[in-house]
Structure 1
């Protein structure tokens, strides 16, 4: 329910008539026509943090008894005190979010083990990270992909410290809001018959997109969002409102050629992809096969000669008089002999006399009116000399004149067609067929076999994780193709997916790296939610979120991390070589794996006082490593000397040892960042001024605390 609905419910208990009058006014306001995307912004979300120790002052929820299948008490409570009893620890609670002027807050007590901490989105958080594993197959110098187990809103806020304006591409596949228990709002599944279903989804998405906006590079980046027909209209308007300066396009892509049958409706076979381009971002032309439906892409197995007459409406001699000149053709054999000079605009072409034995061919359109050539006379002479200009059969004073554009000329000169010679007219002739594919930007209709979600999503994933299920994974090659248009020319791109699910985006980034030797990094964010069906069986066993036996079945631990590990190592979780080969752009055995590194983390929630006192360094340390580029080792603790330098960054805790620290930085030009722990601005500036030119100074913990204090959102 929305915040207003909650307040009305409270008002009915004290003044029913006032509540009824307010509700009537509210309904009248909501019935007015308004321009743009109008939706009820629901009270900020809250997320449960199983496993997080309960402290005095925490907001909590009381869990139902173990073995129960009911939701239990959904109210939020504040822990006012914790005491030790004979049966363990007990917490004293006061009901949260109650206006004392409306009614007195309820009080209660509960066993500490029956409480779960709740993080509410209006409160600032102070995040940390705990590493839960890694796989290294790319060598010490290659950056790491990262997987973060977290509520994605809080993970996004964490990334505002490490990656603000540094992300080149965000690819997300958010919940489609089908009503099939595919997502939660405030810890409850959103049902299909929920009157607030669409506005809850919009509230959910808007908060995340607003933070994501802070991460994207405003000068050159792209947000890619996939969606189906249930929310694509609302999503489109939300993107327009959130990114008003962006260029937004929507692509329709075929993901299920057979179609998914729906009672009384057309079968669904496609979905939609929004491309939100910021700054100078634009899709780069790619080698595309004829599979790209509606595109102009064709495989160039032979030379592509194009007409030299300029086509199109409104193209005439008067537009470019310098491009109206005669091409002189040998009247006997039809070969081009020479290129004449441009005819002045005030001269009639009938006054021109062709040399003896030649015919003058002019750029005349089909209706006989005077047009113009595509290139000037000097360029045409060069083309003729190189053999890149040719004529067709001469009929009177008309013949087809065609030439090779620069791209085709380059293929010839680079030997793409094998042996090259010239015919009796001096025109280029090739013996072989080109293996080069034309580079194009496709249209907004995509119909490729590679994008079949069942074949290259579900079936492919089952090969990496035999026996493990994940609903509706994307085709690996569909994600790869979408990314390629924007990060092909960025070998060091940072790609983020904060609805990463099975980890397809990270897998696709690794594929791109293998194709061109890139060092792109993917940050994957997913929670460890257990599917609704599996939760029933686990609860009947007396298990709860936070129990090890429960968490092992969560998305992150059961699917995401094992899939990325399997992709890198080429082996299933059981240790067997993965069967089959990758297809399309780059074909090789899946068992070969990738020369990549990946590290896995779980988000933690820190107390700012502990951070300021330097008592949370071990959990802040991975964030420093992320901020410095996710390369090399993590400085998880400092030696007695009070400083350390890794491959990408250094940390100085003891200012007295600054000279040795500075010398170590000077000796390694790859160290790009230095974190200096001090409460003194003067001391920080003193060290910062002495840093080598290749190193940027960051003050701890001032920069960290300030970042998350200003991230407070209502």
Structure 2
């Protein structure tokens, strides 16, 4: 329909144009069954290193590719071109053109080494990073790894309308009436190639997605993998929830697993946090968890919640919380607060880069938690101390006795027996995951900031969420070959933090191939 609409807009006769548009509108309202999406103008790849010459297929630089031209002649700095769609002859400045290749046309890719990544000294891991259009990278990989890949993990654009991906050199946003169709067209072509790479007898395809496209993606996977078993898992990635205007806040995303051949998740030694008790359907965390009181996500700044910017006074004599200060107005400098009790230091919610952050809770709630024993401080270092608190769910479980016997001390709750241990059990979990280490803010954004302090990634994944997802399929395959052809920040986290992953992946020596555009 998108191509038809483009052609209708080129009709000069207004009466004819309106009559055809009316008939097309009637056709478009007819009920359709199954997954239906447009092919659209084929995806085009700009070839910036290929010079423009007579016979070249070209498009205009720095614009969305909605017109393709064939160069018929070049006169000095002007190209005489034929519009492929209208067959009209136009003259275009040579400097404004770029050679392109349409989808399906032969492109002969090659690998050009541009840098290297060194592993830790005691590691036998090896990874390959390919920087290219991922469709052409997949074409290249088919020559080398057809039916040899054990696991494909991808985190494609979620198509949320946030202009986080392009189609034919133009960002696709919420105003694009064909954005779902374009997304399906883009995914369909790449998944068909991915299928050729997977080992048909024993491999898995893993795709993460949110609610914007999970229905379409599920239908597409059913269509492309009719003989495979498909399951969807719900995974909590942000317990604080991401606000959505006019909607419920988002706390989770979905993970599709496509099991090829005999592939199935392996039972692993998992903490009791993964265990779901069948009698009351509640998640057992295994032990009370202390969490940093400092808010570190993208909203964790003083300006976002001035009422949560206040000092917590820590005693220099016994290294315990002495008292809670009052919040100060946004226009008041913290240096002007001079009410520090004797033999204490004030701890403010300052971020590591020196900017003013905020605490998770108000001073009133902090006082309540301090009285209950659910607020404590770490040791004083360089005139600073970390402050920790216990979230409401764990507080309720602690008070109910679920975590065992406890006593309240001057520096927080302490368990007086040995029952408060995070024991490991070998099992396959259910299809609803709520694991604290999967928090995308704590183990996604914050982890990346530690590695690349000057870079910001909008939608990072928790390193441990990726690790755990893969582990169910590759932990027992030391030579497993893993492919990610929508890699972004995971290039940094997987390749740049190998020493973080290695001791936590059951000793596996998996090989990763990551493709970024």
Residues 485 and 138 of structure 1, relative CA distance in 2, 3 Å threshold: same
Deviation at 1:509, TM superposition (A): 7.2
What TM-score does the superposition give when structure 2 sets the normalisation length?
0.67
Match of 1:219 among 201, 219, 241: 201
Q: Larger deviation: 21-30 or 34-43?
A: 21-30
Map 1:467-546 to 2 at 5 A. 467-502=454-489, 503=491, 504-506=493-495, 513-514=502-503, 515-527=505-517
Q: Distance in 1 between matches of 2:48 and 2:190?
A: 22
- Alignment partner of 1:132 is 2:119: no
Note if contact 1:184-1:190 (Cα within 8 Å) is conserved in structure 2: yes
Match of 2:89 among 106, 114, 134: 106
Q: Distance in 2 between matches of 1:507 and 1:243?
A: 33
Q: Distance in 1 between matches of 2:33 and 2:449?
A: 47
Q: Distance in 2 between matches of 1:190 and 1:300?
A: 44
Aligned to 2:230, the other structure's residue is in SS state strand
Describe the superposition over 1:228-253 as per-residue Cα deviations: whole angstroms up to 9, x where unpaired.
11111111111111111111111111
Note if contact 2:272-2:425 (Cα within 8 Å) is conserved in structure 1: no
Residues 524 and 91 of structure 1, relative CA distance in 2, 3 Å threshold: farther
Residues 108 and 448 of structure 1, relative CA distance in 2, 3 Å threshold: same
Note if contact 1:299-1:438 (Cα within 8 Å) is conserved in structure 2: no
Deviation at 1:21, TM superposition (A): 4.9
Deviation at 1:6, TM superposition (A): 2.2
Deviation at 1:450, TM superposition (A): 0.3
Note if contact 2:81-2:91 (Cα within 8 Å) is conserved in structure 1: yes
Note if contact 1:293-1:445 (Cα within 8 Å) is conserved in structure 2: no
Deviation at 1:55, TM superposition (A): 4.3
Map 1:97-496 to 2 at 5 A. 97-100=84-87, 105-111=88-94, 113-137=95-119, 142=124, 144-292=126-274, 294=276, 437-496=424-483
Note if contact 1:288-1:438 (Cα within 8 Å) is conserved in structure 2: yes
Residues 166 and 155 of structure 1, relative CA distance in 2, 3 Å threshold: same
Aligned to 1:135, the other structure's residue is in SS state coil
- Alignment partner of 1:79 is 2:71: yes
- Structure number with larger C-alpha Rg: 1
Give the count of matched residue pairs.
380
Aligned to 1:462, the other structure's residue is in SS state helix
Deviation at 1:51, TM superposition (A): 4.0
Deviation at 1:62, TM superposition (A): 2.7
Q: Distance in 2 between matches of 1:6 and 1:74?
A: 9
- RMSD value, Cα: 3.1
What TM-score does the superposition give when structure 1 sets the normalisation length?
0.49
Aligned to 1:477, the other structure's residue is in SS state helix
Q: Which runs of 5+ in 1 are unaligned?
A: 65-70, 302-431, 528-714
Deviation at 1:48, TM superposition (A): 2.4
Note if contact 1:223-1:276 (Cα within 8 Å) is conserved in structure 2: yes
Aligned to 1:131, the other structure's residue is in SS state coil
Aligned to 1:181, the other structure's residue is in SS state strand
Q: Distance in 2 between matches of 1:435 and 1:454?
A: 23
Note if contact 2:273-2:285 (Cα within 8 Å) is conserved in structure 1: no
Aligned to 1:489, the other structure's residue is in SS state coil
Note if contact 1:300-1:437 (Cα within 8 Å) is conserved in structure 2: no
Deviation at 1:16, TM superposition (A): 4.9
Note if contact 2:39-2:185 (Cα within 8 Å) is conserved in structure 1: yes
Aligned to 1:466, the other structure's residue is in SS state coil
